[in-house]
Amino acid sequence: MVTTDTTRELTVAGRFDDASVEMFRERGWWRDGSAAALLDRWARERPEQRFVSDGTVELDYATLRGRAYRLGARLLELGVRPGDRVAVQLPNWAEFAVSYLAVARIGAVMVPIMTVYRHTEVAHVLRNSGAVAAVTTGQFRSFDHADMFRSLRAECPELRTLLIARSEAQDGELSFDEACAGDTVPDDSVLGPHRDPDLPHLIVYTSGTESTAKGCVHTWNTLDFSGRGLADDVFHMTPDDVMFMPSPVAHATGLVVGLLVPLAVGAQTHLLDVWEPNEGLRRIAEYRCTATATATPFVRMTLDAARGECPDVSSMRFWLCAGAPIPEALAKEFAGVFVNGQLVPLYGASEVMAATCCHLEDSLERMSSSDGSPALDGVQIKIIRPDGDTAATGEEGEICYWGPGAILGYWREPERSAAVIDAEGWHHMGDLGKADADGYVRVTGRLKDIIIRGGTNISAGEVEGHLMAHPDVAGVAVVAYPDDRLGERAAAVVVAAPGATPTLEALTSYLRDERRIAPHKLPERLVLVPELPMTATGKVQKFRLRELARGEA
C-alpha cells in the first residue's frame, strides 16, 4: 500500500511499496548507475565517437566528458551542492548536453526550461524549484534570455549564479565557455561520488495546459527506465544510429529521446534549434540521421516540404509520432518519402514519459486506429470508470499508469501529487481513453475536457472532432463557460478557414443535421479567434480559452 499523506517527502519509499521496488530491481527495470556513469563508459570505450552535434558544435564522448566535468567542478566552486536545483534554458545546442551531464555528475537536480517561456513562466519555475543557479544564453530568436534572467534574480533570491552560453557575460555572471575551459578532467576527489539513483535527478515542468505548471520529479532510475527501454525495445538503437531531435531537449520528449536514448547505447544525436521543415530534411540527409520523435504536426510539415526537391533521407528508419494516432493515408505518404522508414505512434506525458506505443511488428491498422499497447515491459495501463472500477473493453474512462517510469510526485505540491497518485500507486493521467481486447489504447480526450451541462457530460474532444470536419473550420477548441441555470454550457472557439466566416447557426445546424450528434452537445456560443493559444509542445491552452469564453458570455 502506498501512502497518500500530503506531507510526505518525495522519496522512492514514499512513492512505491517495498514489493514493487524489489520487483523493479529483480526484473532489471531499475539498474542504478547514472547518466555520468554512462558517459564515463562511452568516453572510455569509444572516446572519438561523436555524441552530439547541432550544426555549429560537435562533441565526441571524450571531449564532452571533459567539458561537462570541468563545468561541474566550477559549479561546485560556486556553491552548488548535491540536491540543489540548476535551471537550464538553452536552445537545442550541444551546451545543453554539457549542462545536463555536468549537473548530473555533481548530484544536483536538472530543471530544464524551454526557450519559448518568458518572464511569467520562468519566474514560476525558478520560485517553485528554488533553483540556485541557471544556464542560459543571450539573444535567441529576437529575445534576450540573459536580460530576462538578470531581472528575475531580483525576484528569486535563491538564484545566486548565472552562466551565459554563446553570448557575453556581464559582471557577476560567468561565461559558459570559460567555465568549461581547460585540459584536465576532474575526478571523484573533486566531483564527489555519483548520486544515489533513487534521489531526485530531474524536475521537468508540465507544458501549461493548466494555469500553473507542475514540476514532475524523476529519479535517475525512473528516467533511465524510459530512456533505456525506448532505446532497446522501441527504437532498437545501436551505436551506429544517429538520433535527430528538433523537439525541445528542455522538455520531456526531447530530453529522453534526444539525449538519453542515444546515451543508453553509445550512439549519436543531432539537435536542431529552430524548426523549419526544409532545414530538417537537409540535416537528416547531411548527418545521416536514422530516428526521431516529434509531435504529429512535425510529420505533416516535413511531408509538405518534401514535395519539392527532397534530399536523400533514406537513412531514416524510425519516426516516433507523439500526440495522435496515425491516419493510414499519412503513413503511406510517409513511406513514399522515407523509403526505409516507419511512422509509429506513442502516448506519454512528463509524469511517466512513455505510456503506450506501437511497435514495428504492429500492423498499419493498429497504428492508425490506436495509440499502442503498454510501451515497455513493466508498464501496466488500465482504464477506469468514474466510480473507480475498471472499464469494460471499449468503454471510455480515465487512463491510469503503473510502472517503474512514474514520477515521485510534483515538486513542493503535495496536494496535487496526492490528487493523481492513488493508494495503490497508480498514476491517474487525466486523459480519457478506451482499450480493446488486446490491450491497445485509443486516447479520446482530456478528463478535464468534460463539460457538465445540467448534469449531463459532454466530451469536448468529441464535439471538436465533428467541428473539424466542417469546411469553414481550420481549428477549434470546445470549452465550458459558467451558466447560472445549467452550471456549464459549451462554447466553440474557432479559427476560421481562409475566406470563411462561420456562424453559430451554421455550425450547430451542421452538427445536428449532418453529424447527427445529440442536441445537448451543441455549442451555445461561438468565439472566433485568429489562432488558438498553444503550449510549446503543441497543446491547446484551454484554461486561457475558458477565460475568453467566460468573458464573451
Q: Where do the domains of the chain lie? A: 1-30+378-447, 33-49+61-220, 454-552
Identify the bridge partners of residue 534 per DSSP, sorted by sequence position: 540
Beta-sheet pairing, 161-165 with 174-175: parallel
pLDDT for residue 536 is more than 80: no
Please tell me the predicted confidence (pLDDT) of residue 461: 84
Strands 200-205 vs 215-219: parallel, antiparallel or unpaired: antiparallel
Predicted pLDDT at 209: 57
Task: Spell out where 416-470 has E strands.
Answer: 427-435, 441-446, 450-453, 456-459
pLDDT of residue 4: 39
The pLDDT of 435-449, averaged and rounded, is 89
Residue 99: closest CA among 85, 117, 83: 85
What average pLDDT does this structure show over 18-27?
98
Residue 495 has pLDDT above 70, yes or no: yes
Cell numbers found for residue 336? 513514399
Return the pLDDT at 296: 78
Instruction: Give the pLDDT mean for 259-274.
Output: 98
H or E segment at 261?
helix 261-265
Q: What band does 109 get if pLDDT is binned at 50, 70 and 90?
A: very high
Under the banding of pLDDT at 50, 70 and 90, the label for residue 552 is low
> In this structure, which topology does domain 33-49+61-220 adopt according to CATH?
Rossmann fold (3.40.50)
336 Cβ partners below 8 Å, 6+ apart? none
Q: Residue-wise over 116-145: b if at least 16 C-beta within 10 A, else e?
A: bbeeebbbbbbbbbbbbbbbbbbebeeeeb
What value does the mean pLDDT take over residues 20-35?
97
How does the average pLDDT of the chain come out, rounded? 93
Cβ pair 90, 120 in contact under 8 A:
no
Q: What is the 3-state secondary structure (H, E, C) of 71-118?
A: HHHHHHHCCCCCCCEEEECCCCCHHHHHHHHHHHHCCCEEEECCCCCC
> Could you say which DSSP state residue 28 is in?
T
77: closest CA among 102, 41, 114, 57? 102
Q: Per-residue pLDDT averaged across 342-346, rounded?
A: 94
The pLDDT of residue 105 is above 60: yes
| Contact present, 88 and 182 (Cβ < 8 Å) | no
Greater pLDDT, 361 or 56: 56
Task: Give the per-residue pLDDT at 396.
Answer: 94
**Angstrom distances, CA of residue 55 to CA of 63, 123, 139, 165, 487:** 17, 31, 18, 16, 54
CATH fold group of domain 1-30+378-447: Luciferase; domain 3 (2.30.38)
Q: In this predicted structure, what is the pLDDT of residue 2?
A: 42
Taking only the tens place, the pLDDT of each residue in 384-400 is: 998 999 999 999 999 99
Let me know if 371 is exposed, middle or buried by CB neighbors in 10 A (0-12, 13-18, 19+): buried
Q: What 3-state class would DSSP assign to 70?
A: helix
Stronger pLDDT, 98 or 209, i.e. the higher one: 98
Q: pLDDT value at position 478?
A: 94
Model pLDDT, residue 7: 37
Whether 36 has a pLDDT exceeding 90, the answer reads yes
Sign of CA dihedral 427, 432, 435, 439: negative
pLDDT at res. 325? 66
Q: Residue 422's closest CA among 373, 448, 384?
A: 384
**425 has a pLDDT exceeding 50:** yes
CB 162 within 8 A of CB 149: yes
Which of helix, strand or coil describes residue 551?
Answer: helix
Phi and psi torsions of 234, nearest 5°: -110, -60
Question: Is residue 93 scored above 70 in pLDDT?
Answer: yes
Q: pLDDT value at position 208?
A: 57
What is 454-552's CATH number? 3.30.300.30
Sign of CA dihedral 37, 41, 42, 47: positive
